[in-house]
């Protein structure tokens, strides 16, 4: 009996050093290890934000794996499951590749969706805008509504943090005011032209915008414009001239307003280059819309306010009803803001050449759909002139985008 007790005591005393040895090894291999019960109870937070691989630690130990008791292995084995991404763990030594989402896996489809929505919203905006002018011919007031709905949309987005509002200071405000003023003037004069002539004709005249951009770059900014660019603009001028001479809806108010719009947007581009900022495009466009709205309100009140109060609102409500009148104004404002925002987002996703081609195709879509929807009759010469102008814009856009790409590659090299 004594021998059994002595042998048992000897076994216990021999087991103590072994346990201490294992504890030392565990401390050496797991210096920052916490208990499994620490954290959220799921075994996800085992090692101060890291997960360890027990198999590697066991193999790197100085003792053979056979020296470890089976119970120890059973305790360590669940750590591998705890480090699985499904339970929120992450590995330091065995970084796992995150699953690729659908948008990342098929970027071409995502970019195509952006282009589709850009075209769709632009076409819908132009059609609905013209329909409003057919029963409510007050472009200054409608321009204010466009910007007002967009500003409300931006304020709501800021209030929920999508996106987070970027801070504004006096220096940046001084830089943005000229950009916003030109944006407001170009927007209002575009709408005056839309109200006065056919949508297709206004967009044909606005195809001259690259010509004004090149002229401003050459004679105002002092930038040398290559001869190839000037030659590519010749078909644009020729095509617009042909279309204007035989346009059935031609009047000077629509023509001059569209030309002023081209000049305004040209100066907007010039001031935008001077007001380069690190602010994201969404916030930047929001601030420009707010300033442009403030600029547009006084002319609308002065030029159209008395007529609107006297009979403008009453006539529109009598023709289509109050509900349709209000909803038309709301949706045309939403479409205006969203298509401009989508255009900016699309530009951020693609190369300048792709965006230039997309912009030309957008104008073709708008002209084509407006002719079909409103049944505008155009002469053969107007149709040919429009095609020549669009082709010239396409050539100019190709050359301009390639030049910009070469400049970027030169700077990168």
Flag whether 93 is in a domain. Answer: no
Q: 329-364, pLDDT tens digit by residue?
A: 999 999 999 998 888 777 777 766 566 667 777 878
More confident position, 188 or 34 = 188
Flag whether 316 is in a domain. Answer: yes
Mark out the alpha helices in 220-351 (DSSP H runs).
Answer: 227-245, 252-274, 281-307, 313-320, 322-349
Residues 6+ apart with CB under 8 A from 37: none
pLDDT at 68 over 50: no
pLDDT score at 357: 67
pLDDT score at 55: 38
Flag whether 20 is in a domain. Answer: no
Q: 364-373, pLDDT tens digit by residue?
A: 888 888 888 8
pLDDT at 129 over 70: yes
pLDDT at 140 over 60: yes
CA–CA separation, 185 and 264 (whole Å): 6
Q: Which range is most confident: 11-15, 282-286, 319-323, 368-372?
A: 319-323
pLDDT score at 72: 42
pLDDT score at 20: 52
Gyration radius (Cα) of the chain, Å: 34
The closest of 329, 9, 291 to 139, measured between CA atoms, is 329
Q: 293-314, pLDDT tens digit by residue?
A: 999 999 999 999 999 999 999 9
Flag whether 96 is in a domain. Answer: no
Flag whether 66 is in a domain. Answer: no
pLDDT score at 342: 84
pLDDT at 9 over 70: no
Give me the mean pLDDT over the 130-143 stretch.
96
More confident position, 133 or 72 = 133
CA–CA separation, 89 and 84 (whole Å): 6
pLDDT at 43 over 60: no
Q: Would you give the distance in Å from CA 26 to the centre of its chain? A: 53
pLDDT score at 24: 52
pLDDT score at 389: 87
Give me the mean pLDDT over the 52-57 stretch.
37
- The per-residue b/e assignment along 94-112, b for 16 or more CB within 10 angstroms, e otherwise, is eeeeeeeeeeeeeeeeeee
Q: How far is CA 221 from CA 304, 332, 400, in A?
A: 37, 36, 17
8 Å CB contact between 149 and 330: yes
Give me the mean pLDDT over the 146-159 stretch.
95
pLDDT score at 377: 78
Flag whether 79 is in a domain. Answer: no
Q: 153-175, pLDDT tens digit by residue?
A: 999 999 999 889 999 989 899 99
Give the 3-state secondary structure of residue 51: strand
Of the listed ranges 41-50, 60-69, 79-88, 213-222, the least confidently predicted one is 41-50
Q: Which residues pair with 51 in a beta bridge?
A: 91
CA–CA separation, 164 and 18 (whole Å): 59
Flag whether 83 is in a domain. Answer: no
The closest of 220, 201, 322 to 263, measured between CA atoms, is 220
Range of the domain at 282: 107-410
pLDDT score at 133: 96
Q: Mean pLDDT across the chain, nearest whole number?
A: 77
8 Å CB contact between 341 and 117: no
Flag whether 346 is in a domain. Answer: yes
More confident position, 250 or 186 = 186
pLDDT score at 79: 42
Give me the mean pLDDT over the 261-286 stretch.
83
pLDDT score at 104: 67
8 Å CB contact between 257 and 192: yes
pLDDT score at 60: 39
Number of domains composing the chain: 1
Tell me how crowded residue 75 is: count the other CB atoms within 10 A of its CB.
12
Of the listed ranges 19-28, 250-259, 331-340, 402-411, the least confidently predicted one is 19-28
CA–CA separation, 345 and 355 (whole Å): 11
Q: 70-120, pLDDT tens digit by residue?
A: 444 444 444 444 444 444 444 444 445 555 566 567 677 878 888 888 889
pLDDT score at 46: 34
- For the entire predicted model, the pTM comes to 0.68
pLDDT score at 332: 97
Q: 180-235, pLDDT tens digit by residue?
A: 999 999 999 999 999 999 888 888 888 888 888 888 888 887 888 888 888 888 88
């Amino acid at each position: 009996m004594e021998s059994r007790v002595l042998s048992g005591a000897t076994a216990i005393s021999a087991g103590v050093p072994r346990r201490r040895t294992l504890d030392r090894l565990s401390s050496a291999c797991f210096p920052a290890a916490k208990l499994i019960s620490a954290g959220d109870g799921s075994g996800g937070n085992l090692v101060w934000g890291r997960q360890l691989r027990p198999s590697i630690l066991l193999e790197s130990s100085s003792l053979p794996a056979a020296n470890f008791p089976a119970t120890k292995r059973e305790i360590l084995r669940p750590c591998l499951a705890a480090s699985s991404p499904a339970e929120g763990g992450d590995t330091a030594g065995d970084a796992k590749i995150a699953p690729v989402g659908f948008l990342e896996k098929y970027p071409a489809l995502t970019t195509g969706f952006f282009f589709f929505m850009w075209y769709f919203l632009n076409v819908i905006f132009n059609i609905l805008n013209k329909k409003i002018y057919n029963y409510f011919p007050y472009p200054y007031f409608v321009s204010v509504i466009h910007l007002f709905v967009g500003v409300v949309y931006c304020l709501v987005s800021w209030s929920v943090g999508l996106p987070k509002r970027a801070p504004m200071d006096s220096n940046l405000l001084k830089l943005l005011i000229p950009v916003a003023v030109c944006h407001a003037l170009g927007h209002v004069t575009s709408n005056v032209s839309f109200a006065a002539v056919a949508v297709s004709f206004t967009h044909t005249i606005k195809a001259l915008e690259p010509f004004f951009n090149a002229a401003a770059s050459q004679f105002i900014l002092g930038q040398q414009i290559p001869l190839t660019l000037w030659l590519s603009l010749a078909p644009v001028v020729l095509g617009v001239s042909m279309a204007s001479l035989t346009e059935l809806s031609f009047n000077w108010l629509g023509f001059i307003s569209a030309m002023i719009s081209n000049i305004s947007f040209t100066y907007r581009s010039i001031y935008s280059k001077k007001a380069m900022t690190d602010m994201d495009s969404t916030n930047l466009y929001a601030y420009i819309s707010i300033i442009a709205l403030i600029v547009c309100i006084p002319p609308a009140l002065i030029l159209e306010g008395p007529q609107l109060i006297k009979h403008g609102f009453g006539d529109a409500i009598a023709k289509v009803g109050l509900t349709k009148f209000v909803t038309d104004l709301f949706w045309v404002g939403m479409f205006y803001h969203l298509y401009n925002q989508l255009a900016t987002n699309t530009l951020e996703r693609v190369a300048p050449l792709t965006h230039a081609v997309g912009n030309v195709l957008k104008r073709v879509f708008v002209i084509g759909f407006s002719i079909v929807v409103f049944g505008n009759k155009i002469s053969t010469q107007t149709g040919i002139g429009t095609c020549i102008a669009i082709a010239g814009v396409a050539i100019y856009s190709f050359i301009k985008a390639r030049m910009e790409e070469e400049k970027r590659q030169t700077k990168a090299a």
